[in-house]
Chains A and B, each alone.
Chain A
Amino acid sequence: MKKYIYLTTLLCTILLISCEDFLDKGPLDKLSEAAYWERASDAEYAVNGLYECFYELDGGGYWSPGGAPYLDVCTDLIYLRNSWEFGLMPFSDGSMNSDNGWIYAFWSKKYQYIRYANYFFENVDKVKNLMTDDEYKNLCGQARVVRAFCYLRLVQGYGDVPLVKETLGTDALPSRTPATEVMDFVLSELKLAADELPETQSDDAHGRIFKHVANAYAARAALHYAGYYGKTEHYQTAVDALSQIVGSGQFELYEKNSDLVNNFNEIFWAANEGKENKEIIFSDQFIADKRPNNISTCFAGTGWKALQATQACIDLFECTDGWQANGIQFADMNKYRNTKNLSSPLLGKSAKYDPLNEFTNRDPRLTATFFHPTISTTGGTISRTGEFWEPANATFSPDRDNDAYSFKKLVDPTNFNPVYYYGNSENNFPLIRYSDMLLLYAEALNEAGISDPLGKTPLFYVNAVRDRVGMPAIVSSDPSEIREIIKHERKVELLAENVLMWDYMRWKDYEKTMPNGSAFYGYRRETYGQESVLFQTKLKTYPKYNLWPIPTAEMRNNKNMKQNTGW
């Protein structure tokens, strides 16, 4: 019997020893931290992992192949055809609450990338001596821009937000940091990044962060800081950053096609996104099949036409002779107009305006931005045949269940050749465009009331943008009129580029453009003796709607978090 006991003991001992490593089964397809941060490429890969944060199609939630730039739905310009398609829609119509999924996704995605960036800074020094100083600074600069961008967006959306500069433990319950402190951090980081980063991009398609990307975000941050928080001294910060971009001589407006309409439309085409396109400074990168976007499908897909313009937006486009020639005040156009009661501002003022042919003799950007609906009437029946658009080789008949205008801007012809591909656009989405920078520069100079280090007037830059599309130059010496001119120019130039919503926020123009109870209509049926169709009534109260609510998910789990006023 003793022998059995010995044997069993022996057996168990052997097994116990063998079990020690028998149970050692880590993942087979995942790097361990111990094996990382050993090569210079490890730092480079970590930076590559950050770029996804710039994806704000679909409103800035999590990346999924299927997004389009929806954010301008939150302005008075754009109407969302299908209310369920975009989570921030309730912010547009006034039925928002803190449970909103996009509010949560926008917030948590930014903090996720902030964690990735913080993790990078905590580890990058482990491989610092494996690369040159320039390589090291270049990587740090890119990560710094990413982190600053995330914070800028958080402040723009939510106001005071927790400022986190290192990776937190899972039991942390951070509280809100005053927005001024966060903005100071953002500005100082972007300044540091601009010094660290190289003068030019290392890739041909404007995908890599370089010096002027840092400058551009610094300018946007400074203008938000100055506009929303009244820190007017930061107009100077913006001027400093923008004068570097404008003064560098590296960028110019795209003018390859002599046809003014096509030229503007083609800026955004996949075919034109190489190094020779000097207007695009920075863009979100897409490739067909592997990482496509869905803009062309959302904008122009059969039956989709998700993002549409109301008549209020169409009325913002001047005739080719310009509003100043017709005595139309920009300030009047930068506030809410009831297009059902008010006729076109051009009616009876511009000889070039034909109410039956809205798209003729207009700013070329109108035809470049929207498909011509080709409205006609016979015996009281209105019909819309829609524009035949050569590049797409297909007829875009506007859907007849509503009265809106559908987007052509950002629709890429490669989606339609040879057949129409669903959800597979490869055109990069512009994140920073030179015309935007010129207009921001004009705005900063005008607001700061200081002389341009490059020796020009604010309107010089506005007129440069207008001149590219053949619109007449504007003359004014009144800073408050120039402000309205710039706002207007941004609206027609930058529609659907996820820029205008942030402009409205820093201008605090929501109340002016979408007062509580304001109504928005489709195309002007009054022209044909009918009544315009109401699309949307915006029941928004202010100042509540000047900021988003902090997501309920955070409020529920973090006792240190305070909600924004009114939410």
Chain B
Amino acid sequence: MKNKQRPKNERLGLNRLMTLVFLLIIFVSHSIAQDRSRRVEGVVSDTKEPLIGVTVNVKGTTIGTITDIDGRYTIEVKKDNDTLVFSYLGYEPKEIIVGTQTIINVSLSESNKLLDEVVVVGYGTQKKSSMTAAITTLNPNEITNVPRPNIYSALQGRIAGLTVTEATGDPNSSPTLLLRGKGTIDGDTSPLILVDGVPTANLNQIPANDIEAISVLKDGAAAAIYGARAANGVILVTTKQGRSGDTKPVVQLNSYIGLQTLAQFPDRLNSYQYASMINEIARNEAVGSNKGNKYPIFSIHDMEMFRHGVTDDLHANTNWKKEGIRDIAPIYTNHVSVSGNSQLGRYYVSGEYMQQDGMVKEIDKRNRINLRANIVSDITNRIQFQFNTNYIRTNQISGGLADIFNVVLTTSPTIPVRYKDGHWGNTIFANGAHLSDASNVVQNITEYGPRDLYWHTFNTSGGLSYRPINDLTVKVQGTYQHSQSDSQEYNRSWIAWNPLTQSVGQSGPANLSERWTKEYKYDFQTTVNYEKTINKNYIKVLAGFSTESFRSDYIQGYRKNFINESLQELNAGDASTQTNAGGADQWAFASFFGRLNYAYDDRYLFEANFRHDGSSRFAPSKQWGTFPSLSLGWNINKENFMKDITFIDKLKPRVSWGQLGNAEKVGLYLWFGGIDSGPYYNFDGNQVFGTRPSDPENRELVWETTTFYNAGLDGSFLNGKYTFEVDFWKKNTDDIILTIPISTVIGSSSSSQTVNAGKVASHGFDISVGTRGNLTKDFTYDARLSFTAWNSWVVDLKNRASAFSTEYRPGDDFGNYYGYECLGIINDEATLSAYKKIENVSPYVDLGDLQYKDQNGDGRIDYMDVVKIGNWNTKKNFGLNLNLGYRAFDFQIFFQGAFDVDKMMDGATRSTGTYGSSDTNKFDRWTEENRNADALYPRLRRQYTHNTDVLSSFWIKNASYVKLKNLQIGYNLPKPVLSKIGIQNLRFYVSGTNLFTIAPDFLKGYDPEGDMRTDIYPTLRVYSFGLNLQF
């Protein structure tokens, strides 16, 4: 049976690789052994730390090397009187005669020229000055003390080109990342993230303190080395390593405790306001003889009780926010690391424990443990062993928290938490009778679960790097990732009590479902690096290949009717109700890649990348795709004619072209077709097997290709006092893998098919401008503004973009809201009667309702009158970071904002009449008594949807905002005091996150970054106190 086939290839890659690597090692060692020259090695550092990428040359020869990430170098010399030349941008060069030394450690001193950074790029590092692609790096120190468990929140606004949206405060969810617009549709647009060279989805679980560097590869030239998965951009993260200079262990402790509150929350109605509104809705609904009744639902008696605050089982005035939501919830994190250089090698070992309580009472808790050990060890002078391992365990309640807020916001205040006899209140009563059922948030919390989601991931990576000759490095790395999650959802039995009849109205049994998932991923990569400087010609070649394979399996079980509420394992449930399910997925990915760098005299820079990727997501003959890139740069400041213009440290224009693919968005088996099976029916009380043909497959699917153009300019002036980076970019995506509607008569269950069809395009620019310096001797400043602007639009999407589509239209921007243009609230009889004459207008329309515009003037309101009424994409955003230092104090102030963005009112905020409660925004509405045509809401109605069912411009709000995202004040204890007690560094700080939001046009009580809905977890404001200790 084909479907039973085991994945026999999973280990093949490893076996073959290891064999080949050993062959290579033996072979090359043999050839090296004949070389009689002697080896000199050492570490190059400045006063603080090792320098990476220092060029070491034997003077007067072509022999040369550069220092590695730990500042280490090894070089072959022929004679004792050879001279080594150490040169590094931003430092004074140094020459040393070798003599008889075999270890030469060198300390370079900074020149008055700007320090040149080394940037992590795909499969290697590069000097910033020689970079030709658009890459932005982030100094992790900026984000380590942000009191959020997830570093995505901290990235917001700090990287030009990266749009981070934190739509909710739900601690169980992550903000979304979007790099340089949307180059595709129907699929994930988040960037590819690699941690220590391995693709991973877990960056949001990694402590910021473990991160050494973050590089964001923004254009085609930078990302092409990751080929088929790079179209949404690439983020490279490297974790910390021990430093060779630290012969004594360095211990660091970073801790904070934060107090979280809701950043904003709508005001709720009290019982009297609520009941008045329900009566008003009923009056609006009423026809004929019932119209005059002032108390159609809640009686005079009810209203009087509400007005005077007299309460009983049927007349409460409950503040559900107070009942279900905490005022303050704590979060704390302790991170400890030990690092250094020992006989074992350089090591970095860390552990973190994070615990966060959320805003929902009792059940909103989670914690996380991170452990990491990174070791680099020299086996011989030419062979280096690297071993990274980390373990993450998270424990959380498995979701559903947004529902709690929805219940808080929509449950009627007239319901008591408990009736006098102790039963939970969950019915709205009016005029002494049952009106509607409702959820009780306190009951939901008390009877919640227990639910638990445990997630473990174990990630281990081993590598060998071998340098057979000076300029050549061969590196082999294997990584194994294992994740496992188990979730348990227990729902207690429940009853709905009717206090009128003193009986159980409804009840449900307890049930339990458990689900276990495991995932394996194998990743192997081999790279060969060759680097050489000949006179003024610098050349560097990289070639490599990699394979990845993945498999996941799950199994789940369910039972209900438990013998006793105290037993909450599957065995205690009724076996006759049990169900189970299971399944598995797999995919594989293989790649060849290469890069060529060439520089002439550090002035003219050239880079080419190449990637050939194969993916199991396509039909066997369509699996492979090729992704090239080219880029050029010119260091103008190094030209002779610039010699006299000393205020310019750096001025580098660069251009690039590259093609990228987008593979992850394609479903795993779209090429497969096949037959679906399942227990689709039952006879005689027993489920039977059924089969059906799957939706039609597409064996012609190929990669979609994004062609990326980028032009940038980097500049630095007055010794780095002013810096800027500007990039203009454009990208076109062809062969979009697109789900297009097909005739529903064909009978595909989705009425759609996935094909390569259509094109989209985007353009935009990123700007980062910085300045730093000293105002006085004691007062330092460092300010940086990042600005991102982009737009993406439809070029051609076949049937998916039609003239009247409410999703995409040809030539239109992504993210458009399409709906009727609202001409306002109908406020006079003449308008009403004219409007009613228009065809297809609901015959039930009346004063106080919305009037829609007949755009095409055909005397009929229908789908052809639907036009663009807004755009929800955050296309323009900025971040402004100010770091100020005064003596021992430091300040960080961070503003973030977005503009030119709209949001729609949706769900309960758009609804104009249910028995659910509302927020006080609804005070501003059209009523018979107050005929305000400019009101925020039309007249309230219940059994009627003319105003609310279709989207109209009436419900669109401007969501531009500015937020004070972070404010931090730190104090460094004086070093002389600390050194006496053996402490190198101790800093205390206080910080506030999300301190205020300015969004003048938005619905009150809702976050403009999120949606105007009641079923989302509101964003959080956090006040924290922390310390950074090093000894």
Residues of A in contact with B (beta carbons under 8 Å apart): 3-4, 7-8, 11-12, 14-15, 18-19, 21-36, 42, 45-46, 48-52, 82-84, 94-95, 97, 99, 104, 107-108, 111-116, 118-119, 162, 164, 167-174, 203-205, 207-208, 285-287, 289-291, 301-303, 394-395, 397, 399-401, 419-422, 531, 533-534, 537, 539, 551-554, 556-558, 561
A556 and B749 CA atoms in complex are apart in Å by 18
Whether the Cβ atoms of A99 and B863 lie closer than 8 Å is yes
Q: A302-B496, A553-B741 are in contact. Are A36 and B691 (CB under 8 A)?
A: yes
Stretch of B42-50, B51-59, B838-846 contacting A (4+ beta carbons < 8 Å): B838-846
Whether the Cβ atoms of A111 and B746 lie closer than 8 Å is yes
**In the complex, chain A residues whose CB is within 8 Å of the CB of B753:** 170
A46 and B676 CA atoms in complex are apart in Å by 10
Whether the Cβ atoms of B687 and A287 lie closer than 8 Å is yes
With an 8 A cutoff between CB atoms, is B748 at the interface? Answer: yes
Residue among A18, A29, A401, A561 with the highest chain B CB neighbour number at 10 A = A401
Instruction: Find A203's partner among B508, B620, B684 (CB 8 Å cutoff).
Output: B684
Whether the Cβ atoms of A26 and B672 lie closer than 8 Å is yes
Q: A170-B696, A302-B498 are in contact. Are A32 and B840 (CB under 8 A)?
A: no
**In the complex, chain B residues whose CB is within 8 Å of the CB of A113:** 747
> Which residue of the partner chain B has the closest CB to A84?
B945
A72 and B675 CA atoms in complex are apart in Å by 36
Stretch of B76-84, B433-441, B512-520, B877-885 contacting A (4+ beta carbons < 8 Å): B433-441
Output the least CB separation between A167 and chain B (Å): 7
Instruction: Find A27's partner among B498, B668, B691, B742 (CB 8 Å cutoff).
Output: B668
Output the least CB separation between B430 and chain A (Å): 7
Whether the Cβ atoms of A23 and B615 lie closer than 8 Å is yes
Q: A31-B675, A302-B506, A399-B433 are in contact. Are A19 and B684 (CB under 8 A)?
A: no
Q: A203-B683, A289-B577 are in contact. Are A25 and B616 (CB under 8 A)?
A: yes
A12 and B685 CA atoms in complex are apart in Å by 58
Instruction: Find B669's partner among A26, A83, A203 (CB 8 Å cutoff).
Output: A26
Stretch of B345-353, B587-595, B850-858 contacting A (4+ beta carbons < 8 Å): B587-595
Instruction: Find A401's partner among B28, B430, B560, B588 (CB 8 Å cutoff).
Output: B430
Whether the Cβ atoms of B27 and A19 lie closer than 8 Å is no
A34 and B2 CA atoms in complex are apart in Å by 9
Whether the Cβ atoms of B692 and A28 lie closer than 8 Å is no
Whether the Cβ atoms of A22 and B434 lie closer than 8 Å is no
A95 and B472 CA atoms in complex are apart in Å by 76
Give 13 A-B pairs besides A30-B672, A119-B692 with Cβ atoms closer than 8 angstroms. Answer: A22-B13, A27-B674, A29-B584, A45-B677, A94-B843, A119-B693, A172-B746, A205-B685, A291-B687, A303-B436, A397-B498, A420-B504, A554-B743
Q: A22-B549, A52-B680, A285-B683 are in contact. Are A8 and B620 (CB under 8 A)?
A: no
Residue among A108, A204, A537 with the highest chain B CB neighbour number at 10 A = A108
**In the complex, chain B residues whose CB is within 8 Å of the CB of A531:** 289
Whether the Cβ atoms of B804 and A556 lie closer than 8 Å is yes
A36 and B3 CA atoms in complex are apart in Å by 11
26 contacts between A and B (CB under 8 A): A3-B27, A3-B31, A7-B24, A8-B528, A14-B16, A22-B12, A22-B588, A30-B3, A30-B675, A36-B675, A48-B688, A48-B689, A49-B680, A50-B692, A51-B680, A83-B944, A111-B746, A119-B692, A162-B745, A172-B743, A399-B434, A401-B433, A419-B504, A420-B506, A534-B289, A552-B863
**In the complex, chain A residues whose CB is within 8 Å of the CB of B683:** 203, 205, 207-208, 285
Interface size counted on chain B using CB atoms at 8 A: 111
With an 8 A cutoff between CB atoms, is B503 at the interface? Answer: yes
Instruction: Find B691's partner among A45, A108, A286 (CB 8 Å cutoff).
Output: A45
Instruction: Find B751's partner among A24, A33, A108, A204 (CB 8 Å cutoff).
Output: A108
Whether the Cβ atoms of B2 and A303 lie closer than 8 Å is no
Q: A23-B588, A173-B743 are in contact. Are A400 and B431 (CB under 8 A)?
A: yes
Instruction: Find B3's partner among A28, A112, A203, A208 (CB 8 Å cutoff).
Output: A28
With an 8 A cutoff between CB atoms, is B509 at the interface? Answer: yes
Whether the Cβ atoms of B745 and A558 lie closer than 8 Å is yes
A24 and B10 CA atoms in complex are apart in Å by 11
**In the complex, chain B residues whose CB is within 8 Å of the CB of A32:** 2-3, 672-675
A48 and B682 CA atoms in complex are apart in Å by 8
A29 and B4 CA atoms in complex are apart in Å by 8
Whether the Cβ atoms of A115 and B748 lie closer than 8 Å is yes
Output the least CB separation between B716 and chain A (Å): 40
With an 8 A cutoff between CB atoms, is B459 at the interface? Answer: no
Q: A539-B844, A556-B802 are in contact. Are A14 and B672 (CB under 8 A)?
A: no
Residue among B16, B28, B560, B753 with the highest chain A CB neighbour number at 10 A = B16
Whether the Cβ atoms of A395 and B503 lie closer than 8 Å is yes
Instruction: Find B746's partner among A49, A115, A116 (CB 8 Å cutoff).
Output: A115
Residues of B in contact with A (beta carbons under 8 Å apart): 1-3, 7, 9, 12-13, 16, 20, 23-24, 27-28, 31, 287-290, 297, 427, 430-431, 433-437, 495-496, 498, 500-501, 503-509, 528, 543, 545, 547, 549, 560, 577, 579, 583-590, 592, 614-616, 620, 623, 668-669, 672-677, 679-694, 696, 698, 741-749, 751, 753, 799, 802, 804-805, 840, 842-844, 862-863, 943-945
A21 and B13 CA atoms in complex are apart in Å by 11
Output the least CB separation between B369 and chain A (Å): 32
Whether the Cβ atoms of B620 and A24 lie closer than 8 Å is yes
**In the complex, chain B residues whose CB is within 8 Å of the CB of A94:** 843
Whether the Cβ atoms of B434 and A97 lie closer than 8 Å is no
Whether the Cβ atoms of A302 and B843 lie closer than 8 Å is no
A51 and B435 CA atoms in complex are apart in Å by 39
Q: A48-B689, A285-B682 are in contact. Are A11 and B615 (CB under 8 A)?
A: no
Whether the Cβ atoms of B509 and A287 lie closer than 8 Å is no
Output the least CB separation between A557 and chain B (Å): 5
A208 and B682 CA atoms in complex are apart in Å by 10
A14 and B680 CA atoms in complex are apart in Å by 46
Whether the Cβ atoms of B747 and A115 lie closer than 8 Å is yes
Output the least CB separation between A468 and chain B (Å): 27
Instruction: Find B588's partner among A25, A164, A397, A419 (CB 8 Å cutoff).
Output: A25
Instruction: Find A25's partner among B433, B505, B587 (CB 8 Å cutoff).
Output: B587
A30 and B689 CA atoms in complex are apart in Å by 13
Instruction: Find A31's partner among B20, B682, B691, B799 (CB 8 Å cutoff).
Output: B691
Output the least CB separation between A508 and chain B (Å): 22
Whether the Cβ atoms of B692 and A116 lie closer than 8 Å is yes
Whether the Cβ atoms of A557 and B9 lie closer than 8 Å is no
A205 and B683 CA atoms in complex are apart in Å by 7
**In the complex, chain B residues whose CB is within 8 Å of the CB of A285:** 681-683
Instruction: Find B2's partner among A26, A111, A167, A557 (CB 8 Å cutoff).
Output: A26
Output the least CB separation between B312 and chain A (Å): 18
**In the complex, chain A residues whose CB is within 8 Å of the CB of B943:** 82-83
Output the least CB separation between B414 and chain A (Å): 14
Closest 9 pairs between A and B when the two form their complex, measured CB to CB: A115-B747, A400-B433, A49-B690, A302-B505, A25-B616, A48-B690, A31-B675, A539-B843, A28-B584
Output the least CB separation between B280 and chain A (Å): 16
Whether the Cβ atoms of A534 and B290 lie closer than 8 Å is yes
**In the complex, chain A residues whose CB is within 8 Å of the CB of B590:** 15, 19, 22-23
Residue among B543, B675, B676, B943 with the highest chain A CB neighbour number at 10 A = B675
A561 and B505 CA atoms in complex are apart in Å by 50
Output the least CB separation between B7 and chain A (Å): 7
Whether the Cβ atoms of B505 and A303 lie closer than 8 Å is yes
A265 and B805 CA atoms in complex are apart in Å by 49
Q: A30-B674, A207-B683, A539-B844 are in contact. Are A111 and B745 (CB under 8 A)?
A: yes
Whether the Cβ atoms of B427 and A112 lie closer than 8 Å is no
A27 and B560 CA atoms in complex are apart in Å by 31
**In the complex, chain A residues whose CB is within 8 Å of the CB of B840:** 97
Q: A94-B843, A419-B507 are in contact. Are A11 and B20 (CB under 8 A)?
A: yes
**In the complex, chain A residues whose CB is within 8 Å of the CB of B842:** 95
**In the complex, chain A residues whose CB is within 8 Å of the CB of B804:** 556
**In the complex, chain A residues whose CB is within 8 Å of the CB of B23:** 7
**In the complex, chain B residues whose CB is within 8 Å of the CB of A561:** 743
Whether the Cβ atoms of A22 and B547 lie closer than 8 Å is yes
Whether the Cβ atoms of B685 and A15 lie closer than 8 Å is no
A36 and B694 CA atoms in complex are apart in Å by 13
